[in-house]
């Protein structure tokens, strides 16, 4: 597991200055330990069984020292999710890239996965969950994220179920989810939803652990307080170092 720089002895610090100050959270699965590393905004890395999954890699994150991807998941066409330069930097000849059709069309060799579809890649099952706005948009009658264009993802590894919501409001498809172990839920206006709405959605599908992400400018204490006493563990991490 990665550790923060302030926990590293001074004698070792010089050797590790090229590595990003990221910490991974470990989860136990039926297939062994799985680690999740928050990187930046909506970007994160999942590692298990010697394989690496990068989600929405964005060049504004610090990728120094991080491994290249066996799999890359892209949620949407916007630049903070679809960054062709960072995808190329993490890509190996064998890397499998999964994206919704609108994004896959922009990535050479990507595998298109539409809402409701799923694919099994080695020990990983990837399900495409809808992500969209219910009411928020740039002008009357328009929304920032249309239904069917982008994907949230439900990743299953060794029985552990990880939900990555993408840019979405608290849509019915999110609220109907069951048996989610770990969830990443967005909360920023005007593009997704405020913390109060994110908390209400989390109460509906009750993940064991929930991370606020894609939250620039939001008051996370509102989300945390709204879920106090529910039995849902809220984990706050610094996605904007």
> In which band, very low, low, confident or very high, does the pLDDT at 145 lie, cut at 50, 70 and 90?
very high
DSSP string, 106-124: TSTTPEE--TT-EEEETTE
What does the block give as tokens for 111? 């595998």
Q: Per-residue pLDDT for 140 more than 80? A: yes
Q: What is the mean pLDDT of residues 5-30?
A: 58
The string of pLDDT tens digits covering residues 35-75 is 999 999 999 999 999 999 999 999 999 999 999 999 999 99
Contact 177, 164 (CB under 8 A): no
52 or 6, which is more confident?
A: 52
**Residue 125 dihedral angles phi and psi, to the nearest 5°:** -105, 130
Residues 74-129: pLDDT tens digits? 999 999 999 999 999 999 999 999 999 999 999 999 999 999 999 999 999 999 99
pLDDT above 90 (res 153) = yes
Classify residue 111 as exposed, middle or buried by CB count within 10 Å of its CB (0-12, 13-18, 19+): middle
Nearest to 35 by CA among 67, 57, 60: 67
Question: Given the DSSP bridges, would you call strands 118-121 and 111-112 parallel, antiparallel or unpaired?
Answer: unpaired
Worst-scoring range by mean pLDDT, 14-23, 31-40, 43-52, 186-195? 14-23
Secondary structure (3-state) at 222: helix
Other C-beta atoms within 10 Å of 68: how many?
14
pLDDT for the residue 79: 92
DSSP string over 170-235: S-HHHHT--S-SEEEEE--TTTS--HHHHHHHHHHH--SEEEEES-TT--HHHHHHHTTTSSPEE-
Q: Give residue 241's pLDDT.
A: 87
C-alpha 138/C-alpha 132 separation (Å) is 14
What the block records as the tokens of 195 is 């913390």
Better pLDDT: 141 or 83: 83
How confident is the model at residue 186, as a pLDDT?
98
pLDDT greater than 90 at residue 151: yes
Residue 187's pLDDT is what? 97
All structural domains of the chain: 24-230 (3.60.15.10)
Q: Is the pTM of this model over 0.85?
A: yes
Alpha-carbon distance of 212 to 239, in angstroms, equals 9
82 vs 103: CA distance, rounded Å: 7
What does the pLDDT read at residue 4? Answer: 40
As separate numbers, helices (DSSP H) first and strands (DSSP E) second, the chain gives 6, 14
Q: How far is CA 9 from CA 6, 126, 127, 226, in A?
A: 8, 39, 42, 39
Phi, psi of 200 (to 5 degrees): -65, -40
Task: pLDDT band for 222, please (50, 70, 90 cuts).
Answer: very high
Structure tokens at 102: 């609108």
Tell which wins on pLDDT, 227 or 18.
227
pLDDT of 17: 37
7: confidence class by pLDDT, cuts 50, 70, 90: very low
22 pLDDT band (50/70/90 cuts)? Answer: confident
């Amino acid at each position: 597991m990665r550790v923060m720089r302030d926990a590293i002895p001074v004698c070792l610090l010089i050797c590790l200055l090229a590595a990003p100050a990221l910490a991974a959270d470990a989860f136990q699965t039926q297939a062994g330990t799985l680690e999740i590393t928050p990187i930046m905004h909506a970007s994160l890395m999942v590692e298990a069984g010697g394989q690496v999954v990068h989600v929405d890699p964005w060049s504004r994150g610090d990728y120094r020292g991080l491994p290249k991807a066996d799999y890359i998941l892209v949620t949407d066409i916007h630049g903070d999710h679809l960054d062709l330069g960072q995808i190329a930097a993490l890509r190996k000849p064998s890397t499998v890239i999964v994206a919704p059709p609108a994004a896959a069309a922009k990535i050479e060799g990507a595998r298109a996965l539409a809402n409701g579809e799923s694919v099994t890649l080695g020990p990983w099952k990837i399900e495409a969950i809808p992500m969209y706005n219910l009411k928020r948009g740039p002008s009357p009658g328009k929304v920032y994220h249309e239904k069917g264009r982008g994907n949230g993802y439900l990743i299953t590894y060794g029985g552990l179920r990880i939900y990555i919501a993408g840019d979405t409001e608290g849509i019915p498809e999110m609220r109907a989810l069951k048996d989610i172990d770990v969830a990443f839920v967005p909360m920023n206006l005007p593009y997704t939803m405020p913390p109060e709405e994110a908390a209400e959605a989390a109460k509906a599908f009750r993940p064991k652990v929930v991370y606020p992400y894609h939250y620039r400018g939001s008051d996370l204490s509102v989300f945390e307080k709204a879920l106090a006493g529910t039995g849902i563990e809220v984990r706050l991490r610094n996605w904007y170092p």
